[in-house]
Structure 1
Amino acid sequence: MLEPVTDRGLDDLSALADPVRRHLYLHVLEQPDPVSRDAAATALGITRALAAFHLDRLVKAGLLLTEYRRLSGRTGPGAGRPSKLYRPSGRVVRAALPERRYEVAAELFAEALSAPDAGPQALDAAAENYGRKLGAESRRRAGAGANAEGSAEAVESVLRDAGYVPFHREGEIRLLNCPFHEIAQQHRDLTCGMNLALLQGLLAGADAPALSARLDPQPGVCCVAISAGAAAGPDRHSDPEAAADA
């Protein structure tokens, strides 16, 4: 759940940097059935050896999977060796800088819409529950018996992997990036409330009572700030723009 999306995405893009390999990958993606080395070589007008090299590199990168099957349909002695076939792994190639996590937002919105009481409260509940799962990972990283400093460091580690880019300003943890930035531009109140609920859930799941999250919209950073002590400032259902103007 917490593999840095951008790290993997950049690795995937690096694997596709070679134009021959990229065209082979696109060719396999567009076929309804697994592709043999011979078929791939013929389709791109390259040698079988070159096709095999690039196809196997795509398998190593996790972008393709292999299977073995006799294409002649014959079985038994004399049927020949099975051919090595390639098919998509199902992995989505994507990278964004700064990092975005729209699949998380989609999951939370879908969960909220399917709830009996669909609405902002259901979205907050879904976000808080997701945050608690991140908090459990933070608690695992901190280790048993971690002090407040160790817990805070683990929280920052999880925030970083979740795409928030935490940094310190005036004794607080601010978040340089919003993983839901484009959604927030169109639906600020809803997205900021979701973000706050998620981060409050993270802190609760991390068992980090010394830290609290609150809405504090400021230019150039995420709308949520994390500080020591009890939460202060606007609650999750207040207007972030009004808070920023206050």
Structure 2
Amino acid sequence: MDDEVPAAAARPRRDRLPRNRQRERVLHLVRKHDGPVDAAEIAAQIGLHVTTVRFHLDALCDEGAIVRTRLHRAGAGRPRTGYVAVEDRLDYRVLAEVLAMELGRIEETRRERAERAGRRWAGQMVAAIEADVRPGVGPSEADALDRLATVAAQIFARMGFAPELLAAKRSRGKREREIRLHACPIRDLARSHPEVGCGLHRGVLAGLVRDTTMSAELEPFVAPELCLARMVSNE
């Protein structure tokens, strides 16, 4: 009949939904995943072009609803960008701001106290990791630097940093390991109060160094979404 509307025309197209509705659906799908998910997978599930999905993912990152991380390929090739939902970010940020001020009125005092807390926290996390490791499993056969790097990567993973442990290399005649930290879990605090946020994480890294022949340093925000943890063997 002339009044009949083709089925394809009768169905509302997904890419014609208001942008806020599209963004809500993108966020919902990211939250449904237990781990990181990339733009292509979201696009396939939601029925939108991958460029449109990336636009919404970037906006959600700017809003603090999700964070970027890395998805590593099984073989050669550059790692893909993945996205992870951040739960209750606003409440945590407010709490973190309050705690930052409770550490002291002077910036140097806050830094010292945050680093001290980080060292104590590192000891607790190392104890938890060692309790989970069965005899004969883990990096016990590796040298001291590799053990430190492996444990540090595990700790940073538990903290939500999406760490990427790089292969050992030599710099200025010394052997070193580097960890790229792609997703700071307290990014807002680290930027507004680096003496607290970065101080805490420096303390964690320092607390992992038990061998006097080792040293470690943290370089915050070498790129907008990247920090570096570097461990060096001084032998």
Same fold (TM over 0.5): no
Query: Over alpha carbons, which structure has the higher Rg?
Result: 1
TM-score of the aligned structures, taking structure 1 as reference length = 0.42
TM-score (norm 2): 0.44
